[in-house]
Amino acid sequence: MRTFRRGRPLTPTLSRTGEGARRGLHPAWLAFLGLLLLALPARAGSLDRAGIERFFPAPLVVGERDDTVPVWPILKQEAGSYEVFAYAFESIDLAPIPGFGGTPPNLLVALAPDGSFRDVKVLSHHEPVFLEGLGSEPLFAFVEQYVGLSARRAIRVGRANARANGAAPQSVVDGISMATASTRVINESILNASLAVARRKLGFGAAANVGLKVEAKIAIYAPMTFDDLIAQGYARRFVVTNGEAEAAFRGTSVEGRAEGPPDAPLTDLVIAYLNVPTIGRNLLGENRFSALMRELGPGDHAVLVVSAGPLNPLGEDFVMGSIPDRIAIQQEGLVINARDMAIERRGAGMAGLPEGPWTILKIASQAGFDPSRPWTLSERIVRERGQILTEKVSRDFAIGYALPDTLFTREKPDAGPSWADSWAARGWELGAIAASLGLLIPVLVRQRGLVADQRRFEPFRLAFLAFTLLFIGWYAQAQLSIVTLVGLVRAAVGSGDLSFLLYDPPSLLLWAFALASLVVWGRGTFCGWLCPFGALQELAAWPAKRLGLRQVAVPPALDRGLRLVKYGLLAAILGAAALSSPLTDSFAEIEPFKTAITLYFVRSWPFVAYAAGLILLNLFVYKGFCRYLCPLGASLALGGRLRLLDWIPRRSECGSPCQLCKVRCRYGAIEPTGRVDYAECFQCMDCVTIIHDPGQCVPQVLARKRGRRIIPQPVAAE
């Protein structure tokens, strides 16, 4: 390392490449890489038939597992035959999105034929916040919210109690405080896996339209008669004769029950999409069309169904505002949820429109319905036999409907990737952290500025540490952890998907800054300024120092040995992760971060006692955990060997004869020779303050007393 004669400008210098080469690869990394080579990826569902049957006991029956998609049909008996009750599958087979433990959560999902969730269960997970933290009960309660919701909707995770505060219960689930990122990963796992099954088993072709905004062009209008609308295909007449119905029921127990001539209509419907002004205004009239458009929500659609035949498609017991039992709208194989708008049935429409029973069906914007593409309307015709034990047989009849796409505007909002919501929701937190980093950088760079003034610098440091603890740690939950490195290892030997990092923007911002600062300053920038638990220790030690609490002097030989412990812990944790050992999460508990920062000490007493014990130890052995036990600090110390700058200024007198900086360094990062051990430096800047202070720096004090001028003369590096 380059040193300087008295009086030479104290500026950082580039490390010699020879020194970096001599450092070599740390033994902990060699051990870890060896274990990594032995690891084999394992990502597959865990349930066989017996396992599935435990979740779906009799009278439900588990069918044969699909050969093309890992799905188990769950059957129930209806009227002497078996119908599909649900499709059961494991999310890890279809959407293995890594969580913050590095491995995907695995959930058992039961999807009904209509696309709604019958059940969702957590089979396994490695989410740190729920492992010996909050416990798994909040996670179990979180996934229970999906029961009854539809995979056709874009479900998002809101804040805790979001639905109680007015969020739509059909499209929002309540999040969990302190587990925002984990719940978003789980939400994406459930939805992505469910849509994959729905497309293959339920014909969810229109699922890709969720979020698509298709609107009729209001400016396009032409007056037309009813016959003109029929001729243009803007309104469709749907007729099923008695003969066609009889042919459909041929061979059943209700054959031969037609009640009229074969060519007479059994059902005669007129259907029309009303949002297009040329259709809606002509059919309903100006006033009723305007009222309808006001009642529809943004992106909603309205379909008119009018009956002119003897068969009422709504049924005699139809309730206004409900979903008709016998009418269904489908698009690309997906049944679209269409509900009666409960509009009072008064007055007829335009001339030529039948005067029979009618309904206006509302299709919500979340259904993914695209009126500019073909769709079908089907009617179910039911025949009955017997008066005591009635047997019902039904057949479906359908008609297609399509309008020119020139009548519509199409807008597909760029929703962005699944993690984009996290960045939008936490934008101001990111701004606050970025601003704090923007403040910190010039303070550290300009050593002759604030750092050189001890009276001003000490309050600044304490205030910044308080911000780190209170905002970065306890509020933004951005405590970096060895758990992230465990996740990286698990992802590396598994799917290779690192997207889980993007679900926690504040932590990712700090990781980016910490890695960049490694190259410039070493580990000290994060460990000394941005680690919330480190800040908690330092803030706790500050009043103890003022009260004169005496520190324990660790013998140098023991100190050197203890500093190696953290590297052994790092190798053990990452090695266990590479081998997919179940002990990995237990090993990671050597960090008290989850207890002290993520969970605010709200945890079972052994964990609280351990974290509190480390803070108490810190009062006597300053930052003992950071110096001896922290595996994250060990990883940063190894990464800090790439440091480009020996940025802490030194004088030739440093170490011989002056030992002031060494004595004042509470981390023991300055050797007796005056050399700085950057792997152990926490960038507290005390030594930098001393060397720039003419009243503290011993060589400057002596030179001033002797009235001598110090002339800089470089000294060759050792």
* DSSP assignment of 75-139: EEEETTEEEEEEEEEEHHHH-----TTSS--EEEEEE-TTSBEEEEEEEE---GGGTTTS-SHHH
- Rounded CA-CA distance 623/166 in Å is 46
For residue 672, being part of any structural domain is answered with yes
Write the CA distances from 577 to 123, 376, 567, 645, integer angstroms.
20, 53, 15, 33
pLDDT value at position 166?
62
DSSP string of 415-464, one letter each residue: ---TTHHHHHHTHHHHHHHHHHHHHHHHHHH-TTTGGG-HHHHHHHHHHH
For residue 387, being part of any structural domain is answered with yes
Based on the fold, state whether residues 474 and 619 are members of the same structural domain: yes
Based on the fold, state whether residues 399 and 509 are members of the same structural domain: no
Q: Are the CB atoms for 179 and 130 separated by under 8 Å?
A: yes
For residue 422, being part of any structural domain is answered with no
Strand-pair category, 334-336 with 391-401 = unpaired
Q: Which amino acid is at 370?
A: D
DSSP lists the bridge partners of residue 304 as: 272, 360
For residue 38, being part of any structural domain is answered with no
pTM over 0.75? The answer is no
For residue 28, being part of any structural domain is answered with no
From the number of C-beta atoms within 10 Å of its C-beta (0-12, 13-18, 19+), residue 219 rates as exposed
The SS3 of residue 252 is coil
Q: Which amino acid is at 359?
A: T
pLDDT value at position 716?
38
pLDDT value at position 536?
95
pLDDT value at position 205?
54
pLDDT value at position 2?
33
For residue 425, being part of any structural domain is answered with no
Based on the fold, state whether residues 449 and 522 are members of the same structural domain: yes
From the number of C-beta atoms within 10 Å of its C-beta (0-12, 13-18, 19+), residue 26 rates as middle
User: Residue 141, Cα to own-chain centre: how many angstroms?
Assistant: 17
- Rounded CA-CA distance 208/195 in Å is 9
Residue % of the chain over a pLDDT of 90: 27
- Rounded CA-CA distance 78/702 in Å is 99
Given a cut of 70, is residue 210 above it in pLDDT? no
pLDDT band at 45 (very low <50, low <70, confident <90, very high): low
| Residues in CB range of 104: below 8 A, 6 or more apart | 43, 91, 92, 95, 96, 97, 98, 189, 495
Compute the residue count for the chain: 718
Q: Can you read off the two tokens belonging to residue 30? A: 């060699």
Lowest mean pLDDT among 360-374, 435-449, 492-506: 492-506
Q: Can you read off the two tokens belonging to residue 651? A: 């004088």
Task: Please report where in the chains the tokens 């539809």 appear, as a residue.
Answer: 150
Helices (H) and strands (E) in the chain, counts: 27, 22
Strand-pair category, 265-273 with 117-124 = unpaired
Give mean pLDDT, residues 157-168.
70
Based on the fold, state whether residues 371 and 456 are members of the same structural domain: no
Full domain range(s) for residue 616: 3-22+436-706
- Rounded CA-CA distance 415/216 in Å is 22
The SS3 of residue 4 is strand
Please tell me the number of Cα atoms within 13 Å of 321 on its side-chain side: 1
pLDDT band at 580 (very low <50, low <70, confident <90, very high): confident
The SS3 of residue 22 is helix
The per-residue pLDDT for range 672-681, each reduced to its tens digit, is 888 888 989 9
- Rounded CA-CA distance 266/248 in Å is 13
- Rounded CA-CA distance 580/585 in Å is 10
pLDDT value at position 223?
93
Based on the fold, state whether residues 312 and 347 are members of the same structural domain: yes
Give mean pLDDT, residues 552-556.
88
Give mean pLDDT, residues 504-518.
91
Q: Can you read off the two tokens belonging to residue 694? A: 């003419």
pLDDT value at position 155?
79
Q: Can you read off the two tokens belonging to residue 273? A: 């999409």
Given a cut of 50, is residue 9 above it in pLDDT? no
Measured in degrees and rounded to the nearest 5, phi and psi for residue 369 equal -75, 135
Give mean pLDDT, residues 81-89.
85
What value does the mean pLDDT of the chain take? 81
Based on the fold, state whether residues 245 and 362 are members of the same structural domain: yes
Based on the fold, state whether residues 173 and 310 are members of the same structural domain: no
For residue 236, being part of any structural domain is answered with yes
For residues 253 and 438, the model is more confident at 438
pLDDT value at position 358?
85
Maximum average pLDDT range among 230-234, 654-658, 683-687: 230-234
Based on the fold, state whether residues 157 and 242 are members of the same structural domain: no
User: Residue 587, Cα to own-chain centre: how many angstroms?
Assistant: 25
DSSP lists the bridge partners of residue 13 as: 646
Question: What is the Cα gyration radius of the chain?
Answer: 36
Based on the fold, state whether residues 406 and 315 are members of the same structural domain: yes
Q: Are the CB atoms for 265 and 258 separated by under 8 Å?
A: no
DSSP string of 368-424, one letter each residue: ---TTS-EEEEEEEEEEE-SSS-EEEEEEEEEEE---GGGEEEE------TTHHHHH
Out of 166, 188, 207, pick the residue that ends a domain. Answer: 207
Q: Can you read off the two tokens belonging to residue 300? A: 């909603």
Given a cut of 70, is residue 357 above it in pLDDT? yes
- Rounded CA-CA distance 29/32 in Å is 5
Out of 156, 180, 207, pick the residue that ends a domain. Answer: 207
The SS3 of residue 44 is coil
- Eight-state DSSP code of residue 632: H
- Rounded CA-CA distance 188/96 in Å is 10
Per the structure, how many domains does the chain have?
3
For residue 30, being part of any structural domain is answered with no
Based on the fold, state whether residues 68 and 166 are members of the same structural domain: yes
Closest CA to 672 of 683, 661, 685, 684: 661
Maximum average pLDDT range among 34-48, 350-364, 551-565: 551-565
- Rounded CA-CA distance 658/186 in Å is 58
Q: Are the CB atoms for 526 and 639 separated by under 8 Å?
A: no
| Residues in CB range of 678: below 8 A, 6 or more apart | 522, 523, 524, 640, 643, 646, 648, 669
The per-residue pLDDT for range 176-203, each reduced to its tens digit, is 777 777 888 888 888 888 877 887 777 6
Write the CA distances from 330 to 90, 206, 210, 655, integer angstroms.
28, 9, 15, 83
- Rounded CA-CA distance 712/9 in Å is 8
Give mean pLDDT, residues 81-87.
83
CA angle 609-550-597, nearest 5°?
30
pLDDT value at position 41?
39
Closest CA to 197 of 34, 73, 79: 73
76-85 burial code (b ≥16 CB/10 A, e <16):
eeeeeeeeeb
pLDDT band at 611 (very low <50, low <70, confident <90, very high): very high
Out of 148, 177, 207, pick the residue that ends a domain. Answer: 207
Name the packing angle between helices 482-492 and 631-639 (round to 10°): 70
The per-residue pLDDT for range 401-413, each reduced to its tens digit, is 999 989 998 876 5
pLDDT value at position 669?
87
Strand-pair category, 72-78 with 61-62 = antiparallel
Based on the fold, state whether residues 179 and 284 are members of the same structural domain: no
DSSP lists the bridge partners of residue 359 as: 305
pLDDT value at position 115?
83
Q: Please confirm whether the linkage preceding 657 is cis (ω < 30° from 0).
A: yes
For residues 331 and 718, the model is more confident at 331
- Eight-state DSSP code of residue 236: E
The per-residue pLDDT for range 293-351, each reduced to its tens digit, is 888 877 789 999 998 888 888 777 777 776 777 888 888 766 676 778 877 655 556 77
Based on the fold, state whether residues 529 and 621 are members of the same structural domain: yes
pLDDT value at position 595?
86
Give mean pLDDT, residues 278-289.
90
